[in-house]
Amino acid sequence: MNVDHLKKLLDGVQRGKVPVEKALQELKHLPYEEIDCATIDHHRHLRQGAPETIFGAGKTAAQVVSIMKRMQAQKNNILVTRLDKEKVPPIKRVFRRAHYYPQSRVLTLLNHPVKITGKGTILVVCAGTSDIPVAEEAILTARILGNRVEHLYDVGIAGIHRLMSQRERLSAASVLVVIAGMEGALPSVVGGLVDRPVIAVPTSVGYGSHFGGITALLAMLNSCASGVTVVNIDNGYGAAFAASQINRV
Amino acid sequence: MNVDHLKKLLDGVQRGKVPVEKALQELKHLPYEEIDCATIDHHRHLRQGAPETIFGAGKTAAQVVSIMKRMQAQKNNILVTRLDKEKVPPIKRVFRRAHYYPQSRVLTLLNHPVKITGKGTILVVCAGTSDIPVAEEAILTARILGNRVEHLYDVGIAGIHRLMSQRERLSAASVLVVIAGMEGALPSVVGGLVDRPVIAVPTSVGYGSHFGGITALLAMLNSCASGVTVVNIDNGYGAAFAASQINRV
Amino acid sequence: MNVDHLKKLLDGVQRGKVPVEKALQELKHLPYEEIDCATIDHHRHLRQGAPETIFGAGKTAAQVVSIMKRMQAQKNNILVTRLDKEKVPPIKRVFRRAHYYPQSRVLTLLNHPVKITGKGTILVVCAGTSDIPVAEEAILTARILGNRVEHLYDVGIAGIHRLMSQRERLSAASVLVVIAGMEGALPSVVGGLVDRPVIAVPTSVGYGSHFGGITALLAMLNSCASGVTVVNIDNGYGAAFAASQINRV
Amino acid sequence: MNVDHLKKLLDGVQRGKVPVEKALQELKHLPYEEIDCATIDHHRHLRQGAPETIFGAGKTAAQVVSIMKRMQAQKNNILVTRLDKEKVPPIKRVFRRAHYYPQSRVLTLLNHPVKITGKGTILVVCAGTSDIPVAEEAILTARILGNRVEHLYDVGIAGIHRLMSQRERLSAASVLVVIAGMEGALPSVVGGLVDRPVIAVPTSVGYGSHFGGITALLAMLNSCASGVTVVNIDNGYGAAFAASQINRV
Amino acid sequence: MNVDHLKKLLDGVQRGKVPVEKALQELKHLPYEEIDCATIDHHRHLRQGAPETIFGAGKTAAQVVSIMKRMQAQKNNILVTRLDKEKVPPIKRVFRRAHYYPQSRVLTLLNHPVKITGKGTILVVCAGTSDIPVAEEAILTARILGNRVEHLYDVGIAGIHRLMSQRERLSAASVLVVIAGMEGALPSVVGGLVDRPVIAVPTSVGYGSHFGGITALLAMLNSCASGVTVVNIDNGYGAAFAASQINRV
Amino acid sequence: MNVDHLKKLLDGVQRGKVPVEKALQELKHLPYEEIDCATIDHHRHLRQGAPETIFGAGKTAAQVVSIMKRMQAQKNNILVTRLDKEKVPPIKRVFRRAHYYPQSRVLTLLNHPVKITGKGTILVVCAGTSDIPVAEEAILTARILGNRVEHLYDVGIAGIHRLMSQRERLSAASVLVVIAGMEGALPSVVGGLVDRPVIAVPTSVGYGSHFGGITALLAMLNSCASGVTVVNIDNGYGAAFAASQINRV
Amino acid sequence: MNVDHLKKLLDGVQRGKVPVEKALQELKHLPYEEIDCATIDHHRHLRQGAPETIFGAGKTAAQVVSIMKRMQAQKNNILVTRLDKEKVPPIKRVFRRAHYYPQSRVLTLLNHPVKITGKGTILVVCAGTSDIPVAEEAILTARILGNRVEHLYDVGIAGIHRLMSQRERLSAASVLVVIAGMEGALPSVVGGLVDRPVIAVPTSVGYGSHFGGITALLAMLNSCASGVTVVNIDNGYGAAFAASQINRV
Amino acid sequence: MNVDHLKKLLDGVQRGKVPVEKALQELKHLPYEEIDCATIDHHRHLRQGAPETIFGAGKTAAQVVSIMKRMQAQKNNILVTRLDKEKVPPIKRVFRRAHYYPQSRVLTLLNHPVKITGKGTILVVCAGTSDIPVAEEAILTARILGNRVEHLYDVGIAGIHRLMSQRERLSAASVLVVIAGMEGALPSVVGGLVDRPVIAVPTSVGYGSHFGGITALLAMLNSCASGVTVVNIDNGYGAAFAASQINRV
Integer Cα distance of E166 and E150 in angstroms: 13
pLDDT in tens, D162-171: 888 888 899 9
Q: Does B2 touch chain G (CB under 8 A)?
A: no
Contact predicate H156/H125, CB 8 Å: no
Q: Which residues in chain G touch residue A191, judged by CB atoms under 8 angstroms apart?
A: 158
Overall pTM surpassing 0.90 (yes/no) = no
Is E221–H215 a contact, with Cβ atoms under 8 angstroms apart?
yes
Pick from D127, D184, D209: which is nearest to B221 by CB? D209
More confident of the two residues G80 and F19: G80
Pick from H222, H238, H246: which is nearest to G226 by CB? H238
**CA closest to G161 among chain B residues:** B33
What pLDDT is attached to residue A9? 74
What pLDDT is attached to residue B240? 97
> If pLDDT is split at 50, 70 and 90, which confidence band does A33 have?
very low
User: What are the Cα distances from residue F213, in Å, to B161, C219, D144, E215, F206?
Assistant: 42, 11, 31, 18, 7
Report CA A21 to chain centroid distance, whole Å: 46
Integer Cα distance of G151 and G141 in angstroms: 13
pLDDT in tens, A117-150: 999 999 999 998 889 999 999 999 999 999 999 9
Burial class, B76, CB count within 10 angstroms (exposed 0-12 / middle 13-18 / buried 19+) = buried
Query: Would the pLDDT of F185 be above 90?
Result: yes
Site from C34, C36, C204 to mutate, B interface, most B CB atoms within 10 angstroms = C36
In Å, the largest CA–CA distance within chain H is: 79
Is E184–H183 a contact, with Cβ atoms under 8 angstroms apart?
yes
Per cent of chain B over pLDDT 70 is 87
Integer Cα distance of A128 and H80 in angstroms: 16
Q: Report the SS3 class of residue E91.
A: helix
pLDDT in tens, D90-117: 999 999 999 999 999 999 999 889 999 9
Question: Could you give the angle at the alpha carbon of B120 between the alpha carbons of B117 and B122, nearest 5°?
Answer: 100
Torsion-angle region of B240 (φ positive above 0: left; ψ -120 to 50: alpha; else: beta): alpha
Pick from B192, B197, B249: which is nearest to A174 by CB? B249
pLDDT in tens, G103-153: 999 999 998 899 999 999 999 999 988 899 999 999 999 999 999 999 999
Per cent of chain E over pLDDT 70 is 87
Pick from C128, C157, C184: which is nearest to F192 by CB? C157
Per-residue pLDDT, averaged over F159-181, amounts to 91
Cα of C7 to nearest chain A Cα, Å: 7
B in contact with F (at least 3 C-beta pairs within 8 A) = no
Per-residue pLDDT, averaged over G154-165, amounts to 85
Cα of first residue to Cα of last residue in chain B, in angstroms, is 32
Integer Cα distance of H150 and B137 in angstroms: 58
Pick from H3, H10, H20: which is nearest to B7 by CB? H20
User: What are the Cα distances from residue H43, in Å, to A108, G196, H79?
Assistant: 46, 10, 18
Is D214–F210 a contact, with Cβ atoms under 8 angstroms apart?
no
pLDDT in tens, B201-225: 999 999 999 999 999 999 999 998 9
Cα of B233 to nearest chain D Cα, Å: 15
Q: Report the SS3 class of residue F209.
A: helix
Q: Which residues in chain H touch residue G246, judged by CB atoms under 8 angstroms apart?
A: 197, 246, 249
User: What are the Cα distances from residue G232, in Å, to E210, E211, H201?
Assistant: 9, 11, 14
Pick from F36, F120, F230: which is nearest to E229 by CB? F230
Is H32–A161 a contact, with Cβ atoms under 8 angstroms apart?
yes
Pick from B160, B191, B216: which is nearest to D189 by CB? B160
Question: Could you give the angle at the alpha carbon of D242 between the alpha carbons of D240 and D247, nearest 5°?
Answer: 90
Cα of first residue to Cα of last residue in chain D, in angstroms, is 33
Pick from A37, A58, A232: which is nearest to D209 by CB? A232
Is H224–E189 a contact, with Cβ atoms under 8 angstroms apart?
no
Integer Cα distance of H22 and D3 in angstroms: 107
Q: Which residues in chain F touch residue H130, judged by CB atoms under 8 angstroms apart?
A: 57-59
Contacts of D75 (CB under 8 A, 6+ apart): D111, D112
**CA closest to B131 among chain C residues:** C58
Q: Which residues in chain F touch residue E242, judged by CB atoms under 8 angstroms apart?
A: 197, 226-229
Going by C-alpha positions, the residue among A105, A58, A63, A60 that lies closest to residue A81 is: A105
More confident of the two residues G16 and C206: C206
What pLDDT is attached to residue F158? 83
D in contact with G (at least 3 C-beta pairs within 8 A) = no
Query: Would the pLDDT of D41 be above 60?
Result: no
Q: Which residues in chain A touch residue H58, judged by CB atoms under 8 angstroms apart?
A: 129-130, 205
Q: Does E129 touch chain G (CB under 8 A)?
A: yes
Per-residue pLDDT, averaged over D155-178, amounts to 90
Q: Which residues in chain H touch residue B20, judged by CB atoms under 8 angstroms apart?
A: 7, 10-11, 14
Is B222–D214 a contact, with Cβ atoms under 8 angstroms apart?
no
Q: What is the DSSP string of G56-100?
A: -TT--HHHHHHHHHHHHTTT--EEEES--GGGHHHHHHH-TT-EE
Is E58–C205 a contact, with Cβ atoms under 8 angstroms apart?
yes
Residue B31 has a CB neighbour count (10 Å cut-off) of 17
Is B130–C58 a contact, with Cβ atoms under 8 angstroms apart?
yes
Report CA F113 to chain centroid distance, whole Å: 18
Running DSSP on this structure, what letter comes out for residue C114? P
Is E222–H215 a contact, with Cβ atoms under 8 angstroms apart?
yes
Is B20–H10 a contact, with Cβ atoms under 8 angstroms apart?
yes
Pick from A16, A27, A30: which is nearest to C14 by CB? A16
What pLDDT is attached to residue H249? 86
Is C232–B205 a contact, with Cβ atoms under 8 angstroms apart?
no
List residues bridging with E79 in a β-sheet: E53, E108
Scanning chain C, the segments in alpha helix (DSSP H) are: 3-14, 20-28, 32-40, 61-72, 88-94, 132-144, 160-164, 167-172, 186-193, 214-221, 236-246
Q: Which residues in chain E touch residue H223, judged by CB atoms under 8 angstroms apart?
A: 158, 182-183
Per cent of chain H over pLDDT 70 is 87
Integer Cα distance of F195 and F185 in angstroms: 17
Q: Which residues in chain F touch residue D32, judged by CB atoms under 8 angstroms apart?
A: 161, 164-165, 167
pLDDT in tens, G213-230: 999 999 999 998 988 999
Q: Which residues in chain A touch residue H233, judged by CB atoms under 8 angstroms apart?
A: 207-209
Please give the mean pLDDT across all residues of chain D: 85
In chain F, which among 27-86 make CB contacts under 8 A with chain G?
27-28, 30, 32, 35
> If pLDDT is split at 50, 70 and 90, which confidence band does G14 have?
confident
Integer Cα distance of C27 and C10 in angstroms: 10
User: What are the Cα distances from residue H233, in Å, to A210, H179, H211, H214, H230?
Assistant: 9, 10, 11, 8, 9
Q: Report the SS3 class of residue A182.
A: coil
User: What are the Cα distances from residue A96, in Å, to A51, A119, B46?
Assistant: 18, 32, 56
Q: Which residues in chain B touch residue H35, judged by CB atoms under 8 angstroms apart?
A: 28
Contact predicate A116/A105, CB 8 Å: no
pLDDT in tens, C61-99: 998 998 888 888 777 899 999 999 999 999 999 999 999
Backbone angles phi, psi at C136, to 5 degrees: -65, -40
Is C20–A28 a contact, with Cβ atoms under 8 angstroms apart?
no
Cα of D240 to nearest chain A Cα, Å: 23
- Give the residue ranges of chain C where pLDDT is below 50: 1-2, 29-49
Q: Which chains touch C (3 or more CB pairs under 8 A)?
A: A, B, D, E, F
Integer Cα distance of B122 and B194 in angstroms: 13
Integer Cα distance of D228 and D212 in angstroms: 21
Integer Cα distance of F158 and F186 in angstroms: 10
Pick from A16, A23, A32: which is nearest to C32 by CB? A32
Q: Does E113 touch chain G (CB under 8 A)?
A: no
Q: Which residues in chain G touch residue H36, judged by CB atoms under 8 angstroms apart?
A: 167
Query: Would the pLDDT of A229 be above 70?
Result: yes
Q: Does F182 touch chain D (CB under 8 A)?
A: no
Cα of A216 to nearest chain G Cα, Å: 7
Q: Does C11 touch chain A (CB under 8 A)?
A: yes
**Please, how many CA atoms are within 13 Å of residue E43, restricted to the half-sphere of its CB?**
15
Scanning chain F, the segments in alpha helix (DSSP H) are: 3-14, 20-28, 32-40, 61-72, 88-94, 132-144, 160-164, 167-172, 186-193, 214-221, 236-246
F in contact with H (at least 3 C-beta pairs within 8 A) = yes
> If pLDDT is split at 50, 70 and 90, which confidence band does A101 have?
very high
What pLDDT is attached to residue G78? 93
Q: Which chains touch A (3 or more CB pairs under 8 A)?
A: B, C, D, G, H
Contact predicate B106/B79, CB 8 Å: yes
More confident of the two residues H130 and A86: A86
Integer Cα distance of D23 and E9 in angstroms: 11
Q: Is the dihedral of CA D126, D128, D131, D136 positive or negative?
A: positive
More confident of the two residues A65 and F3: A65
Q: What is the DSSP string of H152-184?
A: E-S--GGGHHHHHTTHHHHHH-SEEEEEE-TT-
Which of A221-230, D121-130, D157-166, F176-185 is least confident? D157-166
Integer Cα distance of B14 and B232 in angstroms: 53
**CA closest to D13 among chain E residues:** E14
Contact predicate H122/H199, CB 8 Å: no
